[in-house]
Structure 1
Amino acid sequence: MRQADRIKIAKRIVQELEEGQTVNLGVGIPTLIPDYLGDKHLILQSENGLLGMGPTPPADEVNMDLISASKAPITMEIGASLFDSSSSFAMIRGGHIDVAVLGVLQVDQTGEIANWAVPGETILGVGGAMDLVVGAKKIIIATSHTSKNGEAKFVKELSFPTSGITKADLAVSEHAVFKFEEGRMKLVEILSDISIEELQEMTEAAFTYDRLLVKK
């Protein structure tokens, strides 16, 4: 995926985040969000033990002892704190995270997520995925629309191991924004120069949409 598309996704998700929320940023695209908050103040949490994550530092100020969940250099906001993994997960499991922004391998048309294992491939473990899916009050997905192999990530049913039965609320790809409500997936915004028909071809999951989204 082009970096420009990754940034577009991060910027669009910022629009969904509310002033003062505590937001966990997962691996990948979510960790771009601190660079595009503008004047919006959020409390950003990284599961590797930081509350108060700031944007990417200038190259001459990089400290690789201070990194995001994606192992990219970050800064700390005034009042930020560092802590161990058990404290980090106590925040997550205790329901203190307003929003979790997560990458996915797949998401089905009801909003169920698979983001930690591919059958037949070696993995390091589930990490914080299952805790975040259960513990966060709202789940937003940040993802490329298809895999590197061109396979659909938005699927009818998961073929990869689930991250938990809690459903996502919103998903943002480089092409579209979807909401998940009452077990259904609805297209609410098109983000690229693409037709509904083209979007349907690359989206295995069934989705509804308002006719006003159809280009004349």
Structure 2
Amino acid sequence: MDKKQLRDRITARVAKELKPGSLVNLGIGMPTLVASKVEADSGIQFQSENGMIGVGTVEPCDENIDHDITNAGGKPVSATPDATYFDSALSFTLIRGGHVEASVLGALEVDASGSLANWIIPGKMVPGMGGAMDLVTGARRVIIAMEHCSKDGSPKILKECTLPLTAVGAVDLIVTERAVIEVTENGLVLLEKGEGFEVEDIIAATDAPLTIAEDLKTFG
């Protein structure tokens, strides 16, 4: 599976978790691809924390690109006909006020309790945490979209995070190319396995203990 196929699988599966008519925030990186996996008439509104509701479901092209319309990562995005724009204060009022139904974020690590580390690796230069701290505490549901393992093959789903935390116990669902995993009070539950992977493959690539759902499904 190449990088594009891997990301398409993850983001398409995340898209199925989003409720019609809901307000959803997509973090920078892979999560931004979720918008293109949603039907334009779904009623789902995508918010960008830099001050926009109405991020479009199609990638802008040379003919219609507007470099003044970007997501929080500074990448140009398309806009729906009813898109609205506002300042950062109002944007974070929406987030902190609990008006965002779901936040989709990437992660460096997630642990068995749903704690998340997604903003810094010690010793590396980063722009800062951004709005992640607010998004994971303000959104009603937090979904992580990430590759199952790091570039060196080490697990990213751990018994306990080792990197500086973004939030404690905030994650509800983890979606990788290998698995859909729910965070519960009793630990992590494997709900679905990715096509081409067996349960044994997923357990071997996961540091945290997994409970296997009785009605385990396959996605692809």
Per the shorter chain, which TM-score range? over 0.9
Partner of 1:167: 170
> What letter is aligned with 1:190?
K
CA displacement at 1:57 relative to structure 2: 2.0
Letter in 2 for 1:16: E
Indicate the SS of the match to 2:13.
helix
Give the equivalent residue in structure 2 for 1:9: 10
For 1:186 and 1:205, locate their aligned partners in 2 and report how far apart those are by CA, in whole Å: 10
Q: How many residues align?
A: 215
Of the three residues 146, 151, 167, the one matched with 1:148 is: 151
Instruction: Report the alpha carbon displacement of residue 119 of structure 1 after superposing the two structures with TM.
Output: 1.7
Question: Residue 82 of structure 1 aligns with which residue?
Answer: 85
Write the distance in 1 (CA, Å) between the matches of 2:73 and 2:211. Answer: 34
Q: CA deviation at 1:73?
A: 2.3
How much does 1:213 deviate?
3.8
CA shift in 2, pair 1:212/1:22, >3 Å: closer
Distance 1:86 1:212, change over 3 A: closer
Q: Which residue matches 2:118? A: 115
Give secondary structure in 1 for the equivalent of 2:81.
strand
Any idea what SS the aligned residue of 1:61 has?
coil
Give the TM-score, by structure 2 length: 0.91
* Unpaired stretches in structure 2, ≥5 consecutive residues: none
C-alpha displacement of 1:58: 2.9
Q: 1:67 to 1:206 in 2, by over 3 A?
A: same
Partner secondary structure for residue 32 of structure 1: helix
User: 1:42 — aligned with what?
Assistant: 44
Aligned-residue offset at 1:71: 3.0
Shift of 1:214: 9.2
Deviations, residues 175-198 of structure 1 (Å, cap 9, x unaligned):
110001114100000113111111
- Indicate if the aligned counterparts of 1:195 and 1:214 stay in contact, CA closer than 8 A: no
What is the CA–CA distance in structure 2 between the aligned matches of 1:141 and 1:74, rounded to whole Å?
Answer: 21
| CA positional deviation for 1:47 | 0.9
- For residues 217 and 176 of structure 2, the distance between their equivalents in structure 1, rounded to whole angstroms, comes to 18
Once residues 64 and 191 of structure 1 are traced to their aligned partners in structure 2, the CA distance between those partners, rounded to angstroms, is 37
Gaps of 5+ in 1: none
C-alpha separation between the residues in 1 aligned to 2:113 and 2:151? 23
After superposition, the Cα gap between the structure-2 partners of 1:98 and 1:68, relative to the gap in structure 1 and judged at 3 Å, is: same
Contact 2:109 2:157 in 1 (8 A): yes
